[in-house]
A = this chain, B = another copy of it.
């Protein structure tokens, strides 16, 4: 355990083995930090609030929380959480293993995420959002929840497994993005998106099937499902299954991506 002398860590916080905590970071009583986790400088962890009602913040083993990040109490994250800098995560957020949250992203709480979800920089996840497994959400995407703002009506967004939402898109309240669908950049998604389709525009309209998009890597292979050519950083068991699936389908998916 390596806690910087300038960090302020509550004696009631539960800190696992081999955890490091950076300078000027504040860890409140409700923190339950898994082993082998690293927390950067200038963070505030397990911030108490009326909404949280004293419930703990659970961070799984082997996580990495980068500097200037803020986590409220009363959320839980599986092992292998990785964040960028200055993320904000409010109460009642639940996520499976290996969630990635990019720099400046803002999770408003009261939401659920599956395993291996990846949020890029500056993503805004409204309350009541339900995000499946292996979803990608790119910079400046907003998941909304109020059909006639401001009001007390909350209609969360649903994003199904393997879907990808490209940068600067808004998903309107109650909309469901189907499995493996792709929302093009700068779109406003006002209606449900069928699985495996591509939509783009404001309002977003169906353009084609994802299977019609070719990889621009000179091979002409299909770009979707992306798991057949892109698997960097995913768990070993997952990658193995994806490669087997690609092999079965005759796709040359064995080349492991090396992109950051």
A residues sitting closer than 8 Å to B (CB atoms) are: 6, 8, 22-24, 26, 40-42, 44, 47, 51, 67-68, 70, 84-86, 88, 103-104, 106, 108, 118, 121-122, 124, 127, 136, 138-140, 142, 144, 147-155, 164, 166-168, 170, 172, 182, 185-186, 188, 201-202, 213, 215-217, 223-224, 226, 229-230, 232, 257-260
Contacts and interface: CB of A to CB of B under 8 A. Distances in A.
A83 to B, nearest CB: 12
Contacts of A147: 216
A150 B230 contact: yes
Contact of A42 (B22, B42, B149): B42
A118 to B, nearest CB: 8
Interface of A (DSSP majority class)? loop
A124 B124 contact: no
Given A106-B104, A167-B170, A185-B170, A260 B127 contact: yes
Given A51-B260, A106-B104, A202-B202, A149 B122 contact: no
Contact of A150 (B26, B40, B136): B136
A68 B88 CA distance: 11
Contacts of A121: 106, 108, 124
Given A150-B136, A258-B152, A185 B6 contact: no
A154 B226 CA distance: 15
Contacts of A103: 88, 106
B188 A172 contact: no
A210 to B, nearest CB: 9
A103 B44 CA distance: 14
A75 B164 CA distance: 31
Contacts of A67: 44, 47, 70
A151 B104 contact: no
Contacts of A223: 148, 151
Contact of A164 (B51, B149, B152, B167): B149
A153 B215 contact: yes
14 contacts: A24-B26, A24-B42, A41-B44, A44-B67, A86-B88, A103-B106, A118-B150, A122-B122, A124-B167, A136-B149, A136-B150, A147-B216, A148-B215, A170-B185
Contacts of A6: 6, 8
